[in-house]
Chain A
């Protein structure tokens, strides 16, 4: 009985440690709501750590072109993301026009994009630290000559 208890405790501890590790970089949230009748409601909430891991194991051929295109802008993106992490929360862009609102904000260490128009509303939130890791993974996919 005691042995079973120890095994259960071990499994529970491992599960908690694994979940804590997965969530340590925060969560990526994507929410899309189509406003037409019987429209799709898509809601994805995933540990942010999965994004750079996924990109690391993604087929390099698939992202090589994007990686080559991003190379000239890497110093700019790195500088922007690093500085963004240091800043207080702020609304970067707010666009209001009849039937459409767009908002890009930095909120609590995440970059949040909200688009709301007559057909759908989209909400995307990703931790800035994860975006940095994802950009580095994307950069690493380029052929050595282009780096």
Chain B
């Protein structure tokens, strides 16, 4: 049997594997926002393909947003060097960086499994529980611009699409529940 024909099944398997990989890579990821207020019987669901957000952002040039980047004025930074803090977090091992416990409020900022985690818990019936999880890759992309006073939102969205399924924000108060997450499903069902 000629060598080419003997290798045919192997080539077919390789082609199939490459096609599958290419299709998996092309699968769009969606940013989902869900706001539920069971007491009022209200709910709002928003689903946005990240590919659309990625293409739209660079076209918006309004206010502080230019070509997918947000400019932060130095007045808003209040003398805080965010990049230096981020560098310190990036190089540190998984750990709790900030723990604040005061009357009726617990705040925790930590790095865990490649994610930056912020947890805020307020006591009382009106109190909020806030959980924010941001993959470090997304934070890195956000600060990947050369300019110190810019955040690259478009790069962060690209990184978010690559990060896979992630629950980004969960806010629960006495009546409302807000969730923001990313996955490859086009619906929230």
A→B interface (CB under 8 Å): 72, 75-76, 78-80, 82-84, 86-98
28 chain-A/chain-B pairs, Cβ below 8 angstroms? A76-B56, A76-B59, A76-B60, A78-B59, A79-B55, A80-B56, A83-B55, A84-B52, A86-B51, A87-B52, A89-B186, A90-B187, A91-B45, A91-B186, A92-B46, A93-B44, A94-B45, A94-B46, A95-B42, A95-B43, A95-B44, A96-B41, A96-B42, A96-B44, A97-B40, A97-B41, A98-B40, A98-B41
The 9 closest A-B pairs by CB, nearest first: A90-B186, A75-B59, A94-B45, A97-B42, A76-B59, A83-B52, A79-B55, A83-B55, A96-B43
| A92 B48 Cβ-Cβ under 8 A | yes
Closest Cβ–Cβ distance, residue A39 to chain B (whole Å): 25
Contacts of A97 in B (CB 8 A): 40-43
Scan B161-188; emit 1 where CB is below 8 A from any A CB, else 0.
Answer: 0000000000000000000000000110
Contacts of A72 in B (CB 8 A): 62
Known: A76-B59, A90-B187, A96-B43. 20 other contacts (CB 8 A): A72-B62, A80-B55, A82-B55, A83-B49, A83-B51, A83-B56, A84-B52, A88-B186, A90-B49, A90-B186, A91-B45, A91-B47, A91-B186, A93-B45, A94-B44, A94-B46, A95-B42, A95-B43, A96-B44, A98-B41
Contacts of B44 in A (CB 8 A): 93-96
Contacts of B42 in A (CB 8 A): 95-98
Query: How far is it, in angstroms, between the C-alpha of A76 and the C-alpha of B44 when the chains are bound?
Result: 24
Contacts of B143 in A (CB 8 A): none
Closest Cβ–Cβ distance, residue B177 to chain A (whole Å): 14
| A87 B45 Cβ-Cβ under 8 A | no
Contacts of A91 in B (CB 8 A): 45, 47, 186-187
| A79 B59 Cβ-Cβ under 8 A | yes
Query: How far is it, in angstroms, between the C-alpha of A88 and the C-alpha of B62 when the chains are bound?
Result: 29
B→A interface (CB under 8 Å): 28, 30, 40-49, 51-52, 55-56, 59-60, 62, 186-187
Closest Cβ–Cβ distance, residue B129 to chain A (whole Å): 24
In terms of DSSP, what is the predominant structure of the interface of chain A?
Answer: mixed
Query: How far is it, in angstroms, between the C-alpha of A83 and the C-alpha of B49 when the chains are bound?
Result: 9
Closest Cβ–Cβ distance, residue A136 to chain B (whole Å): 16
Contacts of B28 in A (CB 8 A): 87-88
Closest Cβ–Cβ distance, residue B24 to chain A (whole Å): 14
Contacts of A98 in B (CB 8 A): 40-42
Query: How far is it, in angstroms, between the C-alpha of A58 and the C-alpha of B44 when the chains are bound?
Result: 38
Contacts of A80 in B (CB 8 A): 52, 55-56
Closest Cβ–Cβ distance, residue B92 to chain A (whole Å): 38
| A93 B55 Cβ-Cβ under 8 A | no
Query: How far is it, in angstroms, between the C-alpha of A72 and the C-alpha of B44 when the chains are bound?
Result: 29
Query: How far is it, in angstroms, between the C-alpha of A83 and the C-alpha of B59 when the chains are bound?
Result: 13
Query: How far is it, in angstroms, between the C-alpha of A97 and the C-alpha of B37 when the chains are bound?
Result: 9
